[in-house]
Structure 1
Amino acid sequence: RFQADEDLLIIPNARGSSLDPSADQETCLTTKMGADATRPLNKPREKFEKAKIPLDEKTKQVLEILKKQP
């Protein structure tokens, strides 16, 4: 779903935070990155199954209780 040579965005000299020790402390500039992992619109939806998170029994019980809450 992600090809780094096509789907990785690099944004140099982006405004960062003065709290970020990796940013330039005088200008607060840093480099940011983004990953485009969206499904291509020209590909069938069926080929891209939504990821499932394995749940243990306790987590399933908690989720069932939460579903019943108003």
Structure 2
Amino acid sequence: MEKGMQDIMEKINAIKTELDHVEGRVITTREHMAHVEEFMGKLSKEIIEGFHVLSTKINSLTEEVKHLEEIVSKKK
């Protein structure tokens, strides 16, 4: 009887140990996901800012090309 109780307690302890490992993995995964979400937010913001800068430069170059086309057409 005592052997059976000891086996049951060992199995319960093994299950508890495994649950502790799983809980640790869940916590680590949550922390990782929070980090990924934060990184994605920063990356998204940087991409949007980059597109605005690029758009401004393209508009500036477009105006410069139009100006140069006007100069060339006047010389013809």
Question: Common fold, TM-score beyond 0.5?
Answer: no
**TM-score (ref. length: structure 1):** 0.21
Larger Rg: 2
Structure richer in strand, relative to its length: 1
**TM-score (ref. length: structure 2):** 0.19
Which one scores higher on RCO, CA 8 angstroms, separation ≥ 6? 1
Structure richer in helix, relative to its length: 2
